[in-house]
Amino acid sequence: MSTHSEQRLATLCLAAIGVVYGDIGTSPLYTLREVFSEHNQIALTEANVLGAVSTILWALFLVVTLKYVTLVLRADNRGEGGIMALLAMALSTAAKDSRRKTWLMAIGAFGAALFYGDSIITPAITTLSAVEGLTLVTPAFDEYVMPIAVSILVGLFLVQKSGTEKMGRLFGPIITLWFVVLAVIGITQIVQTPRILLALNPLYAIEFLVDRGVAVFLPLGAIVLALTGAEALYADMGQFGRKAIQISWMSLVWPGLMLNYLGQGALLLNNPEAVANPFYLSFPALLLIPAVILSTVVSIIASQAVISGAYSVTQQAIHLGLLPRMHVVHTSNNTAGQIYVPSVNWILLAAVLTVCISFGSSSALASAYGIAVTCAMLIDTLLTFFVVRHKWRYPLWVALGATAFFAIIDLMLVVACSVKIPDGGWFPLVLGLSLFTTMWTWKEGRELLMHHIREGDPNLLDFVRTLGNNSIPRAPRTAVFLVSNPTTVPQALLHNIKHNLTLHEKNLVVTVKFTDEPSVDAGQRLRVHELGNGFWQIAIYFGFSEQPDVPKALELCNEQGLKFELYTASFFISRETVVPSPGKGMAVWREGLFAALQRNAGSVVGYFGLPPTHVIELGTRVHI
């Protein structure tokens, strides 16, 4: 490897540490404390401490190192990762109208909905956990924990519009320092009580789980907190690459986490009273305030990672037809993946503050945290099976062998977190089901809308053929009709003929399509089909991670023999007003929800990069 390549890889590793691992890196703040919390009723004996720490260490190995770092990271969609990329890969293996495609879309949509739940709970629990450390300095800080946490969260969401590029330069060194501190503090405790190293033996984990009997799901529901953020390894692969994520996990993050959990266990063996907060009490008294400050900064960074992830998931879900158009702002001229979605930002802020104030503490939020994460992990495993079996075409026994073991672990963790549903676990499930209903209503509503439009509009090819014997006047300009269905005559064109009694010299019927891949090569961007009589059908292809720019794409027409000049073009778009009506479609309340989503969808003009002064918008009413 060349020196330049090595430097580039080192830079990516540092950046990956800063963005990818903030969430899982803050888990030591609360995981072991929650395992031995009162409601789990686990005695603080040496056997239980060794067993709990051993279970955490081996869960990190099996779920994060073996499943995500070794297996799931291989499932990259042209370098992109995350549940939407995995869904796109799985969908590409199914027939267009097959039942399997419908089920895969439903599973992926629910997984994306759960991700939003994680994006709401993570900022709240990590910020509260960090600020709560102030109460160990003096109990007088107790009444200030919530105001400080709320102030930090409001400030965090307010700066989102400026982008993460400048802050990102600081993330890597700060999170690197964090993991070094985790390791050093852990080592200082291990040296004092070296028998904690027995926890490296998996037999202690097995014995700990078996001894719990039916009640095994109580500690598992807390241990899963050590795994939160594991999916970020996969979701952020497109930004840093598989190799950088793997190297940073193996060389720094995993060792730092293991040493810290061992150190907290050693402290509990030596001083059982430290169970109140084994993380902060691992620090010498003189370092407690610096530890709280560093933890707070790292918590903000961890929150930033899932907030940015929510923007990316939103953009990909829009392109896959699961959400209506929204205004997307690109915050970097150099990195395409750095985006800001204002509507999502403010909805997240309102939800995070509501959750933070309603639950009141990180311990209360811990009950709500695990269910969303574990369900998302199980969905990742299910989608990976379809990729291994149908995309990579491995034999059934290989696909099952690669995923069934992890599916069993994921299912156990889901069941364990289900125990906490009455104590707060209901929140991410209700939120996930609500968002899933919204996504599915939008998807089915668009399908119904397209079906009704196809029924009412004449066939485009038949219409073009009739123009040969027609003397409709022609305007010496180019008309671009943006349509969802390229086979029927655009509503805007029919209105133009009806009211203005004219056609344009050139008529481009343009359909924008989003592929199952994150990006599309320039050579595959545009397909032009001449229909005759001054009409062309044009399909423009964008990847699900790309921001569509229709005028720029249409300039490629010149390379295919069709002259296109932006200054002589007029863009005709049709805005459908949906009218809910009883019938064979969706339930009336869902049709009403779809109509509301349709009315509030982002403008086609901004979303497709159309020049506002060249746009003519015509409305039409459609009953569904």
The residue to which tokens 């891949």 are assigned: 517
- Largest separation between any pair of C-alpha atoms in the chain: 95
pLDDT of residue 14: 83
Q: Residue 82, Cα to own-chain centre: how many angstroms?
A: 6
The number of CA neighbours under 13 Å toward the Cβ of 63 is: 30
User: C-alpha angle 483/485/488, rounded to 5°?
Assistant: 100
10 Å CB burial of residue 234 (0-12, 13-18, 19+) is: buried
**Rounded to whole angstroms, how far apart are CA atoms 527 and 539?**
5
Q: How far is CA 615 from CA 217, 485, 549, 566, in A?
A: 59, 19, 15, 12
pLDDT at 122: 85
Q: What stretches in the chain show pLDDT beneath 70? A: 1-4, 78, 97, 163-169, 238-239, 332-338, 456, 469
- Rounded to 5°, angle at Cα 155 from 139 and 166: 120
d(CA 93, CA 536): 31
Predicted confidence at residue 164, as pLDDT, reads 58
Give the model's pLDDT for residue 39.
81
Q: What is the signed CA dihedral for 223, 229, 234, 236, rounded to 10 degrees?
A: -170
C-alpha of 43 from chain center = 38
**C-alpha to C-alpha distance for 553 and 555, rounded to whole angstroms:** 5
Give residue 73's pLDDT: 86
Element (H, E) at 111: helix 99-131
Look up tokens 């004996």; give the residue: 45
CA dist 431 and 116 (Å) reads 8
Amino acid 92: pLDDT: 83
* Angle, alpha carbons 111-114-115 (nearest 5°): 90
The predicted structure's pLDDT at residue 168:
58
Nearest to 122 by CA among 26, 32, 20: 26
Q: Cα 388 vs. chain centroid, distance in angstroms? A: 22
Domain map of the chain by residue range?
13-424, 449-623
- Residue 33: Cβ within 10 Å count: 25
Q: pLDDT tens digits for 67-95?
A: 999 888 887 776 777 788 888 888 888 77
Distances (CA, A) of 156 to 176, 256, 301, 452: 21, 27, 9, 44
For 560-571, give the DSSP string: GT----GGGEEE
Contact predicate 586/445, CB 8 Å: yes
Q: Can you tell me the distance from the alpha carbon of 118 to that of 380, in angstroms, rounded to the nearest whole number? A: 15
Which residues share a beta bridge with 569?
Answer: 478
Fold of 13-424: Amino acid/polyamine transporter I (1.20.1740)
| Tokens (6 digits) for 267 | 């402290």
Which tokens in the block code for residue 201?
A: 């033996």
616, containing H or E segment: strand 615-623
First to last CA, the chain: 60
Q: Are 572 and 480 in contact (CB under 8 A)?
A: yes
CA 588 to chain centre: 30
How far is 506 from 478, CA to CA, in rounded Å? Answer: 5
> Looking up tokens 């990956």, which residue turns up?
16
Task: Please spell the DSSP secondary structure of 410-434, one letter per residue.
Answer: HHHHHHHHHTTGGGTTHHHHHHHHH
Q: Is 539 left (phi over 0), alpha (psi -120 to 50) or beta?
A: beta
